[in-house]
Amino acid sequence: MVSSLRIFILTFATFWFVTAGSLQADEPDKFSILGSYEGIVWSSGTLWPITTVFALADSGQLTGSYVYDENGGPFEGTLSRFRKTDERTWLLIWFEDSGSGTLEAIFNEDYSSFVGLWSPLDDGDAGYPWVGERMD
C-alpha cells in the first residue's frame, strides 16, 4: 500500500511542478513560503480539500495553521518547529486534536506551490500526500 502511494505521490509531484505556473528566481529565505495555499491532503483513505497557511509569528519564527473538511469536519491544526533541510524543503511539526506528526514540504522554484508528505509521529516511515497552491 505504501509503495503504491509513494508512486502516486511522485507522479503527482512531477505533474504539479511541471504545471504549477511560471518559474522565477529562487528566494532562499523563510519569507518566500509565507501565504495561504489551497490543496489536498490524504486522510482516512481519501483525498480532502485543505487550506494551509504559513505565517510569521511576532517572535520572527515561522508558524502556520491548516483546516480540512473530512467527513463533515472541519479539522483544524497548527504548524510549528519549521526547519529548512534543503534549498526549498522544509520539515515541520503538525498538531491537531487527533494527533501530531511531521510534514516535509518541497516548494517549487517560485514558491507558488508545494508537494509534501506527512507522517504521524508514531509511524515515521509512512508518507501521505499534502499539497498546496498559493492563493495570495
Segment 28-55, tens digit of pLDDT: 467 889 999 999 999 999 999 999 999 9
Check if the beta carbon of residue 107 is closer than 8 Å to that of residue 31. Answer: no
The predicted structure's pLDDT at residue 22:
32
The predicted structure's pLDDT at residue 15:
44
Give the β-pairing of 62-68 and 75-86: antiparallel
**How much is the pTM?**
0.78
Give the Cα separation of 33 and 53 in Å (integer). 9
Give the Cα separation of 10 and 58 in Å (integer). 36
Eight-state DSSP code of residue 31: G
Question: What fold does the segment set 2-19+32-134 form as a domain?
Answer: Lipocalin (2.40.128)
- Interacting residues of 93 by C-beta distance below 8 A, sequence separation 6+: 79, 80, 81, 100, 101, 102, 103
The predicted structure's pLDDT at residue 21:
36
Place of cell 498538531: 95
**Residue whose C-alpha is closest to residue 34's, from 6, 4, 61:** 61
Residues with pLDDT less than 50, the chain: 1-2, 7-28
Check if the beta carbon of residue 115 is closer than 8 Å to that of residue 104. Answer: no
